[in-house]
Structure 1
């Protein structure tokens, strides 16, 4: 196989894995996943092997996403997934800020449509958005 075929197969695999990860998240996340107390309770659980691996994968995806901004690939998507996996100071404050935006609420309502088809309770959202 040449590099174009390998690149095509890797792209297809990434799309399939992304869709599988989204469905897994929609199915397994608790209904209060987006509530503020969940972010506060997460706190600093210490160094566990899983947390170290998650952060390593996240930072590798951040670097790969930055590279893919100028190289072929899904740079922004990879960068966002990497940032989502990484633990860094201010992440909870950023999550709380995003929760107050109307477009974030619309996205969660879209996820709730899928949860309804899976017979899962809707995601509970904190206070109403500032700009709707």
Structure 2
């Protein structure tokens, strides 16, 4: 069983920007500069989980009767990196091209609300429908 490192970051936009303009900046300006850095430093997969307010509001309305005590996260996006090893994070952060890719981040991201997490991922159900790594039942 191969276990990879998952590093995640949640981002809230600065309040002077719309969700749409924030996502446009992230996808069209930041990501094209960041991808070459990721390729150099062990990023196996990078994905952006976009969480628009209308979907969050609908989720909150629909889940109230099922999970009333749960909060609905209200960040604008959840960034997921799948890495070969945890050291890849430091490699990315120290790359001069990474600094270039985030030079306008403070104009767009409310960094005071950002949340990070790091851990290991194990797949149990693949896109093919195959169950893997499941103990015998």
Bin the TM-score by the shorter chain. under 0.3
TM-score, normalised to structure 1, is: 0.27
Which structure: greater helix fraction? 1
TM-score, normalised to structure 2, is: 0.26
The higher relative CO (CA closer than 8 Å, separation ≥ 6) is in: 2
